[in-house]
Chain A
Amino acid sequence: MADTTAATQKKPSSGGLLDPDFMNRLERLEIISRKIHSARNKGERVSKRKGESAEFADYRNYVSGDDLRHIDWNIYARLERLFLKLFLEEEELNVSILVDVSKSMDSGEPQKALYAKRVAAAIGYIGLCNYNRVNLYAYADKIVGFLRALRSRRMMSRVVQFLEEVPIEGKSHFAAAARQFAMRHTQKGVALVVSDFLDKGGFEEGLRYLLGRHLDIYALQVLSPEELQPELAGDLRLVDCEDDDVAEITVSRPLLDKYKANLQAFCESLRDYCNQRGIAYVMAPTSHPFEALILSYLRQRGLVR
């Protein structure tokens, strides 16, 4: 523990997940939420809600019932009209990261689970650096491990340790895991789901549970190049690594075309579902450089700033 503390004085350890240079760059980012939340604790985060911080935001006309304490008397003296002085509200943000650690994430080159863990570590680090309340959940058919209410970058080592130690196994059942999450997690905030969403039970139910908590949801779909452009040939007996389900195929051009069409349709259905419900959907092939995903792509999609 002393070791960890000493390390956090300068730079928190990230294990093999993040390199120090990249962490430096992450420190400059912050997680934003597109929604107005009512956090219980004041935080460092500037909320969209106008509040009572020292930082001036705007004026507005006085309407009856407004707190008289916020009337700007200097303006009244000059203009003889009542204006209310508005200040920025600074609040604490809840950042929940759900990482899929089912067996299906254990495939691909680079491994999808590793990619997902690195994304989780990076987002978690950004949140910790900005004194957000970071919650980390690993799930397969249920939530298999979590870290809750982490604040400050000193907690980074725990995040890393958690991510490194969590086993990649089990079937994926997003709906069950999301339901469990929703029951435990009542605060509003940002929820990032990192998964391949290749769940035979579907993704809709799980996302619905999250939506029910009025979270600002980001769905990051991680797919390996083997899934996007399968390099298969011959007569194969495909075995599902999660449930040992078997599909017998004879690889042919039409079959591959059909597979790709199905994959695209699947991704599009996920994206459409997300778009219709205000969920930000991000497709992340593992072949795509991880740093670029965080530094530019997620920035564009509005998760970080």
Chain B
Amino acid sequence: MILLSWQTALLVGAIAIPLLILLYFLKLRRREHRISSTLLWKRAVHDLQVNAPFQKLRRNLLLFLQLLVLGAIIFGLANPVMNFVKRQERNIVLLVDRSGSMKTIEPDGRTRMEHVKDAAAQFVSNLADGSRAMVISFADRANVACSFTDDKRRLERQIREVEPTDACSKIGEALQLAVAYSASLVDERGGGGVPEAAQRGAADIELFSDGRIADADEQYVTRGSMQYYKIGEAADNVGIVAFSARRHYERPGMLSVFAEVENFGPRPIRTDVSILLDGRLLPGPGSIKEIELGPAAAPTSGPARPDDTAALASRQTVIFEMQHESGGVVEVRLSRDDALALDNRVVAPIDPPRQVRVLAVSDRADVRWFLNREFVESLEIKDFKLMTGQEYESAPDKALIAEGRSAFDLVVLDNHDTARLPPGDYVFLGGLPRVKGYARGEEVEGRVLALWNESHPLLRSVGVDRVFISKWKRLTLPEHAVKLIEGEDSVVLALVTEPGHRYVISAFDVLDTNLPLQPAFPIFLQNAVMYLAGGGLLDEGRLIRPGDTMSLPVPPGAQNVRIDGPDGREENLEVQGRHSMTFAHTYLAGVYRAVFDDKGRTANAFAVNTLDPIESLITPNETFTIGAEQVASVTGQVKVNEPLWPWAAGAALLVLLVEWWIYNKRVML
């Protein structure tokens, strides 16, 4: 136990106690009472004084009790605390987790977020005088809820205002912010008279979380120390961790919905998985499936990693197949009340079936022949169009653009550089988009392919090792380009994602390779159709995670867009003169609808789903490791700096009541 404000108590005590005693020395003002005779009273007083030499002292029981009351009040004023955690550093950064798992309902009926807020608020209220603290809330991104201040009420208020999101938890940005703000504090204080620790800019980081943080092992704490407060108890949760809905490649009317369900709880469970279209259960059998899942393995300590959870839980895949010829919102739902409702539902907007439209642009007859053979014969693309470069450049907008986007799901350009790029997906075979940041350099010849990423959907089953490329050009691409095939020092094949556009760019000319003669060519083209055009049937790009940025094409003529969130909130944005727009306020899971004010009232839907095994694993981490370093953790109920003043106040009240009772009852020992 330690007295945090002993100076105040000392001051009050030094004034109040002598004052109380002085009051006792003052002559008592007595009430006058007339009686028949003082004969017996005088005798009684005299007898008492004669017989009890300590009577004066005895009479002072009330004084003693009053001193006791005063003592208790002064003790309370001294702000005594139990389990005091002494800090050298007086700058404290509170990291408050507000990721999806904070929506877990704990056994006491309150959300985990509320427990986190309580613990953080309690921590703040018991800060030693002179400490400064700041609050950073984080999910996938960090947000400074309150900058450094010693105003505890403000800190508490800001903590109370933190609301949970549906996003995953990533601590990296929060740690960077913490360090940056601590450093700024040094600049601010700079001068003399501040503790050495503050000079160094070290801040204590207090993490209030369940310890399930995706990027914990990639981080490290540079300055100050860190303490982890384990919040939460609930462990029972079943969640959908993977989801996809696609139309059948050959029969677009056929919809396949795939969901992976995982049990994160300690007990085996049995639950129903149902599929709904536009909020209605589909008629007929097969729309509800019962599954049984084994218990998750005992949670391992240390930071949660995505592959940890694979070992932890028992998963099961559920596939629904149905004939569905129209669009709408497909939803997979778990009919189970568990601690976290967030992951019991996934949604996806689907479009009515349509044929994949592919445009190939080539001036060379042999390439045209190969492309025609692969797309029409091998891939059975029914809506395939072939143009020369000149035809492409001179084609009217109407032929190339539909609804603000490319009229084709995929455009393959052979050896053709172009600036005519309506939003859409493009494969440049030896060509380049004529956009800033893309350039061609000198030729590379006689080199072997050094690296390729076969796990990428574009190169899956392609068999790059059997492909021979005699020469290619060095390319300058934007930094965020994903390199799919690399030579020793140059990129051979890359995927670049720009807002509204995706480009697959090859540095080589197909005629400088054996590719057209290999089975790899149709496989690569099929991958491109499947991946870029989403099979042409369902736009995978319209399924994002909470907090991700959604990019939407802007139809011509649209001035504004209204985005309806899943919670009914509307957001209006200006999109005038832009080809595409981005929307980043995607913290809630559900279906978002963007309605443009163009002539056709174009509507676009996209869905945000958590689909995060780390958030679904709600069992709190007992310990927390950041980088390679285990963080001091406080588990169980957070009992730090427990204030004792309520006890002191209670004791004072009790003694006061006893004193009052004695005074009234005239009971004197």
CB within 8 Å of B: which residues of A? Answer: 104-108, 112, 196, 198-200, 224, 226-227, 232-242, 245-256, 258-259, 261-263, 266
Q: Could you show 13 A-B contacts with beta carbons less than 8 Å apart?
A: A104-B37, A107-B35, A198-B36, A232-B33, A236-B32, A238-B38, A240-B37, A240-B39, A241-B36, A255-B45, A259-B41, A262-B43, A263-B40
User: In the complex, A237 Cα to B32 Cα: how many Å?
Assistant: 5
User: In the complex, A238 Cα to B45 Cα: how many Å?
Assistant: 12
Is residue B11 within 8 Å, beta carbon to beta carbon, of the partner chain?
no
A104:B36 contact, CB within 8 angstroms? yes
B38:A247 contact, CB within 8 angstroms? yes
User: In the complex, A52 Cα to B305 Cα: how many Å?
Assistant: 135
Chain B contacts for A196, CB-based, 8 A: 36-37
- How many CB-defined contacts (below 8 Å) exist between A and B? 104
A237:B30 contact, CB within 8 angstroms? yes
**Shortest distance in angstroms between B230's beta carbon and chain A's nearest beta carbon?**
57
Main DSSP-derived SS at the B contact region: mixed
Chain A contacts for B34, CB-based, 8 A: 107, 238-239, 241
CB within 8 Å of A: which residues of B? Answer: 28-45, 47-48, 52, 55, 59, 664, 666-668
**Residue of chain A at shortest CB distance from B40:** A262
**Shortest distance in angstroms between A171's beta carbon and chain B's nearest beta carbon?**
10
User: In the complex, A242 Cα to B36 Cα: how many Å?
Assistant: 7
**A-B pairs with lowest CB-CB distance, top 3:** A198-B37, A237-B30, A258-B44
**Shortest distance in angstroms between B66's beta carbon and chain A's nearest beta carbon?**
15
B30:A236 contact, CB within 8 angstroms? yes
**Shortest distance in angstroms between B26's beta carbon and chain A's nearest beta carbon?**
12
User: In the complex, A295 Cα to B301 Cα: how many Å?
Assistant: 97
**Residue of chain B at shortest CB distance from A264:** B40
Chain A contacts for B55, CB-based, 8 A: 254
User: In the complex, A139 Cα to B28 Cα: how many Å?
Assistant: 38
B668:A234 contact, CB within 8 angstroms? no
B32:A242 contact, CB within 8 angstroms? no
User: In the complex, A145 Cα to B39 Cα: how many Å?
Assistant: 26
B31:A250 contact, CB within 8 angstroms? no
A253:B667 contact, CB within 8 angstroms? yes
B668:A240 contact, CB within 8 angstroms? no
B33:A238 contact, CB within 8 angstroms? yes
**Shortest distance in angstroms between B324's beta carbon and chain A's nearest beta carbon?**
90
A236:B33 contact, CB within 8 angstroms? yes
A234:B31 contact, CB within 8 angstroms? yes
User: In the complex, A5 Cα to B257 Cα: how many Å?
Assistant: 126
Contact of A108 among B28, B36, B38, B45 (CB under 8 A): B36
B28:A250 contact, CB within 8 angstroms? yes
User: In the complex, A237 Cα to B59 Cα: how many Å?
Assistant: 17
**With contact pairs A235-B31, A237-B31, A254-B48 given, residues A259 and B40 touching in the complex (Cβ less than 8 Å):** yes
B35:A249 contact, CB within 8 angstroms? no
**Shortest distance in angstroms between A110's beta carbon and chain B's nearest beta carbon?**
13
**Shortest distance in angstroms between A268's beta carbon and chain B's nearest beta carbon?**
13
User: In the complex, A248 Cα to B52 Cα: how many Å?
Assistant: 17
**Residue of chain A at shortest CB distance from B41:** A247
Contact of B668 among A235, A239, A254 (CB under 8 A): A254
User: In the complex, A245 Cα to B52 Cα: how many Å?
Assistant: 24
**Shortest distance in angstroms between B61's beta carbon and chain A's nearest beta carbon?**
10
User: In the complex, A135 Cα to B666 Cα: how many Å?
Assistant: 48
**Residue of chain A at shortest CB distance from B48:** A258
Contact of A240 among B29, B35, B43 (CB under 8 A): B35
Chain B contacts for A198, CB-based, 8 A: 36-37, 39-40
**Residue of chain A at shortest CB distance from B32:** A237
User: In the complex, A262 Cα to B42 Cα: how many Å?
Assistant: 10
Chain A contacts for B31, CB-based, 8 A: 234-237
User: In the complex, A107 Cα to B48 Cα: how many Å?
Assistant: 26
A242:B37 contact, CB within 8 angstroms? yes
A239:B33 contact, CB within 8 angstroms? yes
**Shortest distance in angstroms between A228's beta carbon and chain B's nearest beta carbon?**
11
A255:B35 contact, CB within 8 angstroms? no
Chain A contacts for B668, CB-based, 8 A: 252-254
Chain B contacts for A235, CB-based, 8 A: 28-31
With A227-B36, A240-B35, A263-B40 known, 17 other A-B pairs at CB within 8 A are: A106-B36, A108-B36, A200-B39, A233-B664, A235-B28, A239-B33, A241-B35, A247-B38, A247-B42, A248-B45, A254-B52, A255-B48, A258-B47, A258-B48, A259-B40, A259-B44, A262-B47
**Residue of chain A at shortest CB distance from B61:** A252
User: In the complex, A289 Cα to B648 Cα: how many Å?
Assistant: 55
A233:B666 contact, CB within 8 angstroms? yes
A240:B667 contact, CB within 8 angstroms? no
User: In the complex, A40 Cα to B428 Cα: how many Å?
Assistant: 160
User: In the complex, A259 Cα to B666 Cα: how many Å?
Assistant: 14
**With contact pairs A235-B28, A235-B31, A258-B48 given, residues A266 and B666 touching in the complex (Cβ less than 8 Å):** no
A249:B666 contact, CB within 8 angstroms? no
User: In the complex, A20 Cα to B309 Cα: how many Å?
Assistant: 106
Chain A contacts for B40, CB-based, 8 A: 198, 227, 259, 262-263, 266
A252:B28 contact, CB within 8 angstroms? no
User: In the complex, A26 Cα to B42 Cα: how many Å?
Assistant: 41
Chain B contacts for A253, CB-based, 8 A: 666-668
B48:A238 contact, CB within 8 angstroms? no
**Shortest distance in angstroms between B41's beta carbon and chain A's nearest beta carbon?**
5
**Residue of chain A at shortest CB distance from B43:** A262
Chain B contacts for A247, CB-based, 8 A: 38, 41-42, 45
Which of the listed residues B35, B44, B47, B48 has the most CB atoms from chain A within 10 Å of its own CB? Answer: B35
User: In the complex, A249 Cα to B33 Cα: how many Å?
Assistant: 11
Chain B contacts for A250, CB-based, 8 A: 28, 59
Chain A contacts for B52, CB-based, 8 A: 254
User: In the complex, A108 Cα to B55 Cα: how many Å?
Assistant: 31
User: In the complex, A261 Cα to B38 Cα: how many Å?
Assistant: 15
A112:B36 contact, CB within 8 angstroms? yes
A224:B36 contact, CB within 8 angstroms? yes
A252:B59 contact, CB within 8 angstroms? yes
User: In the complex, A261 Cα to B44 Cα: how many Å?
Assistant: 8
Contact of B38 among A107, A224, A240, A251 (CB under 8 A): A240
**Shortest distance in angstroms between B27's beta carbon and chain A's nearest beta carbon?**
10
**Shortest distance in angstroms between B207's beta carbon and chain A's nearest beta carbon?**
60
**Shortest distance in angstroms between A205's beta carbon and chain B's nearest beta carbon?**
16
User: In the complex, A245 Cα to B45 Cα: how many Å?
Assistant: 14
Chain A contacts for B38, CB-based, 8 A: 238-240, 245-247
Chain A contacts for B41, CB-based, 8 A: 238, 247, 249, 259
Which of the listed residues A104, A196, A238 has the most CB atoms from chain B within 10 Å of its own CB? Answer: A238
**Residue of chain A at shortest CB distance from B47:** A258
Chain B contacts for A249, CB-based, 8 A: 41, 44-45
**Shortest distance in angstroms between A137's beta carbon and chain B's nearest beta carbon?**
21
**Shortest distance in angstroms between A267's beta carbon and chain B's nearest beta carbon?**
10
**With contact pairs A107-B36, A112-B36, A240-B37 given, residues A255 and B44 touching in the complex (Cβ less than 8 Å):** yes
Chain A contacts for B666, CB-based, 8 A: 233, 251-253, 256
**Shortest distance in angstroms between A139's beta carbon and chain B's nearest beta carbon?**
16
Chain B contacts for A236, CB-based, 8 A: 30-33
**Residue of chain B at shortest CB distance from A103:** B36
**Shortest distance in angstroms between A115's beta carbon and chain B's nearest beta carbon?**
13
**With contact pairs A250-B28, A253-B668 given, residues A262 and B36 touching in the complex (Cβ less than 8 Å):** no
**Shortest distance in angstroms between B331's beta carbon and chain A's nearest beta carbon?**
77
Chain B contacts for A227, CB-based, 8 A: 35-36, 40
Chain B contacts for A239, CB-based, 8 A: 32-35, 38
**Residue of chain B at shortest CB distance from A248:** B30
User: In the complex, A239 Cα to B37 Cα: how many Å?
Assistant: 8
Chain A contacts for B667, CB-based, 8 A: 253
Chain A contacts for B59, CB-based, 8 A: 250, 252
User: In the complex, A233 Cα to B664 Cα: how many Å?
Assistant: 7
**Residue of chain B at shortest CB distance from A258:** B44
Chain A contacts for B33, CB-based, 8 A: 232, 236-239
Chain B contacts for A241, CB-based, 8 A: 34-37
Chain B contacts for A256, CB-based, 8 A: 666
